[in-house]
Amino acid sequence: MLRSAFVEEFQFTYILASPPFSLEELHDLLAAVPTDPIPPRSLSPVLLDLREIHLNRISEVDIRRHTMRKSALDPRLTSLPVAYVVRDLEDYSVVRMAIMFSELSQVSDEHRSLITQHLSEAVAWLAQLTGTGSKGGAPRLNEAQLRAHMQTPG
């Protein structure tokens, strides 16, 4: 399950993945964005929080299939900066493999991605890209604040 919210103060979209999760659902979320014209919020950087799920069930074949489907989407959507927050090294490896495959397939640019186990690092990276966040110091946005923005699935 994916839930999302636009975080106004930081100008990025927060997406929280919870069980059950599939790459098809992620693709469907991207494919649902209207493209003529694309709403400005849909072109904002993304924080994809994967800490509630295990990615060990996603295979190389799944990643390849997802990348091929993604290649048919508007490049403005597939080239957005994305900060991935993962739970452990195993999930880090799966996301890294997906990013590299996407780069090699010329679907997205790996330099527009960050993988971390720390929410604060992801928020700081996105705040640097958007030029937003707390004035006069490190950006501050905690998990409770992010989840308060969440839309209930429906």
Averaged over successive runs of 10 residues, the pLDDT of the chain (154 residues) comes to 89 93 93 90 94 93 94 92 97 95 90 94 91 65 73 46
Domain chopping of the chain, boundaries: 2-148
**pLDDT given for residue 144 in this prediction:** 77
Amino acid making up residue 92: Y
**pLDDT given for residue 63 in this prediction:** 93
Domain 2-148 listed as CATH 3.30.70: no
| pTM of the predicted structure, to 2 decimals | 0.89
Tokens of 123: 């928020």
**pLDDT given for residue 89 in this prediction:** 96
**pLDDT given for residue 154 in this prediction:** 41
**pLDDT given for residue 108 in this prediction:** 87
Distances (CA, A) of 35 to 5, 25, 26, 46, 135: 19, 18, 17, 17, 34
Tokens of 145: 């604040």
**pLDDT given for residue 151 in this prediction:** 53
Consecutive H or E run containing 70 = helix 60-70
CA distance 146 to 6: 9
Distances (CA, A) of 75 to 3, 105, 110, 117: 23, 13, 14, 27
**pLDDT given for residue 35 in this prediction:** 86
Find all residues with CB under 8 Å of 49, minimum gap 6, and list them.
14, 15, 16, 17, 85, 119, 146
